[in-house]
Chains A and B, each alone.
Chain A
Amino acid sequence: MGYTPDLMALIKRVEKTRPERVARKKAGEEFPALTLEERRIRLENYHPDFRVGALRELKVGPSKGYEVAQEIADTFEARSRVDPDKIDLNEIHYETDVLVIGGGGAGTAAALIAQEHGARVIIATKLRHGDANTMMAEGGIQAATKGWKDSPYYHYLDVMGGGHFENDPELVKTMVSEAPKVIGWLEHLGCLFNKWSDGKLFTLHGAGTCRKRMHYAGDMTGAEIMRTLRDEARNRVKDIGVLEFSPAVELLMDDKGRCSGAVLYNLETEEYFLVKAKAVVMATGGSGRLHMRGFMTTNHYGATGDGLVMGYRIGVGVRFLHATQYHPTGAVFPEQAEGLLITEKVRGAGANLVNIDGEQFVFEREPRDIESSSIIRECTDVGKGVPVPGPGNKWGVWLDSPMIDMLEGEGTVEREFPAKFILYKRYGIDVSKLPMLIYPTLHYQNGGLAYSPDGSTVVPGFFVAGEVGGGVHGANRLMGNSLLDIAVFGRLAGESAGKYVKERSEIGGLSVEHVRKYHKELEEAEIETDRVSPMVLPDYGNPEVKKRQWTTTYVGTVR
């Protein structure tokens, strides 16, 4: 296959400017970074969040009046999949101490630590254990482990700067202070981080970092962490049970206002099950499959933001859901790879971003929202984007990966980015010799449910961990802090839940009154809709097929 002849002709322009750009980098000269003021202007003019119509004010719930992404507002202003009149709360199918909703990195970390505190745990997950955004994270995990040059003080500054100084200071302090502990924990569980022969961990820069503190395992750090955590959970099979293909669709409360379990839906048999628990940890991850603003996403199939609406319905407010993160470098050619994440580490290793003329137009290590806005600007107002062959009107810019071999030695690209090297090779493109064509792709939910540094929330018995939570990254997350977030707050939520269940002596009468109340609130706000939430799965059905499905019913998007 390979690039089209048109693209190969354009690549010549990139090759023409490359020697000079490599020389400048070797001399330590970088494209000038934007000032804080210039960053603000760039965002306001080009970031998708700032477009007219991107946000909408919530009309119901604890964060009523707050403007969030339209697509998330749609899931909040929707009815439950559960009918309070039809549910028999006396028929309990599973009972446990801690119910973890979500089988990704945060959920599994929470399960492991809760178990270490003596709790019995059930992990309920929508797809398989490990089918989560964690598995797809590539670049690395930040932590200030190198005391001769770094400390949590510098990590704190970086996190705050990346988040536009709007982050919750307590959450940030917790995350950066726990970070080295988490690296030690993962190492102890057997994660194969890249190391020198004496055991010292390799670390790299990310965008917005002042120190090289990104620890990594090849170009599949998230997969390595997820595989390891999942394997450990499987070893603790006596205490940790996993219910796969069983997404939670609503939370259960008791008559004392404590979270007491959830309603699960077996995707394969279409049955509903009730799980009674003394504590619930919500770790459902992100919402990229809601496709904000029509963008392709890097997220996994099940990332439909389910936990957000479930937590919202029981009274937990949300933060920073007006700030969606677009990863600057999503593959945009070939069509089959569209939306796929090309790790920021490629830029961290020295690759420039260049336009159709082979010119640099932005420092490649600006924080993600600035970087994405700059690419969008280059492809729109500046008009120097590269037209992408294929259906639709798409543009991209070049990510000049061949620079890396020129800077660090031949074979570096293949060695440091094996997964992507193989992926592009399958499409007939050698990315150590040809640049990648990229455009911003929907990537991360910067905000989410409000929680405290120990993972607890305003609802007793309800804990939050990972991407579904909001506050620690402020308005924009830095690379390497998501794997850190899930490990730190997954562990802390697990610890809090484990301790909480020891104190909680009983579970009162179960109730779904909160659903009834929520539906009433929707009515009073005059919201008329046939939407149901959580979405559970995105709709990738073929409209032609649906016309022929004469007797099929869909509840929301799920058949």
Chain B
Amino acid sequence: MSTVEQQRVAKETGFAVEEFERTDLVPIFIMGKRYDVPSTLTIQKAFEYAGYQLIRGCGCRGGICGACATVYRMPDSQKIYVGLACQTVVQPNMYLAMVPFFPANRAVYNLEELAPNVKTLLKYYPEITKCMGCNTCTKSCPMDIPVMEYISAALRGDLEKAAELSFPCVMCGICTSRCPAELAQYNIGILTRRITGRHIQPAATHVGEMIARIESGRYEEPLKKLMTTDLETLRKLYVDRQMEPHTGDEMWQPDDKRWL
């Protein structure tokens, strides 16, 4: 999509490329049905080109929300590939289906009460012990996450490791859809992450200290002054404010400490 501005400049400078007809069509098979689509499209845009108005299977269009997980095969092979439709470019003869939802098991819990150990996981997701170590989940992950590794870490009681490894998870559910032991890996993953954030990693003490300062009313007057000062003074304060250096030390302090 060319912007209004780019089209104007193209016209003025004469550097215009004629809109050409897309002759570079390739066949793909959406749920077994053939459609010929431009070869540069992503699977998601190919659906729209083919005539689908996406309701399911379309979210952020940017590879992070997990709405458009797609399973596909290529000709003459039984191998199943997984990708995100919004990120994966079509290939000729791709044989695909989107999996916009999977009814995975999800426990309900109160984070405050949870103990940061494997017993918690066993309580809420007892099926985790049924993991067969087949690694299908890892092979099915469109984000290249070592899923089985984080499940193993969780089983070992290393919740922090499970949290770290599962972090880029977009919660698309493909791992669960293919797991023979019916684990909901991605739901186990987020439980380990929240437990780690709340109960394992130390809290940031400076946050509590700052909240206390604010509640003591310390910044009321300084902020009021900024809110009511005239525009010229405000601009000057802004332009003159000292900048923390980019490569500075974490404990750097400004010269003027009146407003801390």
Q: Is the CB of B211 within 8 A of A181?
A: yes
Query: Chain B's interface: helix, strand, loop or mixed, by majority?
Result: loop
Q: Is the CB of B48 within 8 A of A227?
A: no
Complex CA–CA separation, A419 to B167 (angstroms): 11
* Cβ-defined partner of B238 (8 Å) among A157, A291, A426: A157
Q: Is the CB of B61 within 8 A of A146?
A: no
Binds B, one of A192-200, A255-263, A463-471: A192-200
Q: Is the CB of A423 within 8 A of B260?
A: no
Q: Is the CB of B111 within 8 A of A190?
A: yes
Complex CA–CA separation, A393 to B228 (angstroms): 48
Chain B neighbourhood of A190, CB < 8 A: 111, 193-198
For chain B residues 79-95, which have a beta carbon within 8 Å of chain A? 87-89
Q: Is the CB of A36 within 8 A of B198?
A: no
Complex CA–CA separation, A340 to B5 (angstroms): 19
Q: Is the CB of B206 within 8 A of A200?
A: yes
Q: Is the CB of A300 within 8 A of B59?
A: yes
A296 within 8 A of B: yes
Q: Is the CB of A393 within 8 A of B58?
A: no
Q: Is the CB of B51 within 8 A of A542?
A: yes
For chain B residues 54-106, which have a beta carbon within 8 Å of chain A? 54-56, 58-65, 67, 87-89, 106
A537 within 8 A of B: yes
A322 within 8 A of B: no
B119 within 8 A of A: no
CB nearest to A235 among chain B residues: B108
Complex CA–CA separation, A228 to B88 (angstroms): 27
A28 within 8 A of B: yes
Q: Is the CB of B235 within 8 A of A146?
A: no
B42 within 8 A of A: yes
For chain B residues 218-258, which have a beta carbon within 8 Å of chain A? 219, 222-223, 226-228, 231, 234-235, 237-239, 241-248, 250-254
Q: How many residues of A contact B (CB 8 A)?
A: 108
Q: Is the CB of B15 within 8 A of A184?
A: no
Complex CA–CA separation, A208 to B87 (angstroms): 32
Supposing A192-B163, A268-B55 touch, asked if A149 and B254 sit within 8 A by C-beta, the answer is yes
Q: Is the CB of A180 within 8 A of B211?
A: yes
Chain B neighbourhood of A3, CB < 8 A: none
B3 within 8 A of A: yes
Q: Is the CB of A296 within 8 A of B9?
A: no
For chain A residues 436-451, which have a beta carbon within 8 Å of chain B? none
Binds A, one of B16-24, B125-133, B149-157: B16-24
A418 within 8 A of B: yes
Q: Is the CB of A210 within 8 A of B241?
A: yes
CB nearest to B163 among chain A residues: A192
Q: How far is the CB of B6 from chain A (nearest CB, A)?
A: 5
Supposing A177-B214, A205-B246 touch, asked if A147 and B209 sit within 8 A by C-beta, the answer is yes
Q: How many residues of B contact A (CB 8 A)?
A: 98
Binds B, one of A83-91, A124-132, A523-531: A124-132
Chain B neighbourhood of A293, CB < 8 A: 3-5
Which interface residue of B51, B65, B207 has the most chain A CB atoms within 10 A?
B207
B135 within 8 A of A: no
B122 within 8 A of A: no
Q: Is the CB of A301 within 8 A of B54?
A: yes
Supposing A235-B109, A392-B2 touch, asked if A131 and B50 sit within 8 A by C-beta, the answer is no
Chain A neighbourhood of B228, CB < 8 A: 169
Chain A neighbourhood of B54, CB < 8 A: 301
Q: Is the CB of B201 within 8 A of A183?
A: no
Listed A/B pairs (30) with beta-carbon separation below 8 Å = A51-B5, A131-B65, A146-B210, A147-B210, A148-B260, A149-B254, A149-B260, A156-B226, A157-B237, A165-B231, A169-B227, A169-B228, A190-B194, A192-B193, A198-B202, A199-B202, A210-B241, A210-B242, A294-B3, A301-B58, A301-B60, A336-B41, A341-B62, A383-B13, A391-B20, A393-B15, A393-B17, A394-B2, A423-B63, A541-B51
User: Knowing that A157-B241, A180-B211, A199-B202 are A-B contacts, what are 20 other residue pairs whose CB atoms are under 8 Å apart, sorted by A's residue number?
Assistant: A51-B5, A127-B55, A127-B67, A152-B219, A190-B196, A192-B193, A193-B197, A199-B203, A199-B205, A200-B204, A200-B250, A212-B244, A220-B64, A220-B167, A235-B109, A300-B60, A336-B41, A392-B2, A395-B6, A419-B168
Chain B contact residues, CB within 8 Å of chain A:
1-7, 9-10, 13, 15-17, 19-20, 40-42, 45, 48-51, 53-56, 58-65, 67, 87-89, 106, 108-111, 143-144, 163, 167-168, 170-171, 190, 193-198, 201-211, 213-214, 219, 222-223, 226-228, 231, 234-235, 237-239, 241-248, 250-254, 259-260
Q: Lowest 6 A-B CB distances belong to which pairs?
A: A190-B194, A199-B202, A393-B10, A190-B197, A545-B51, A153-B259
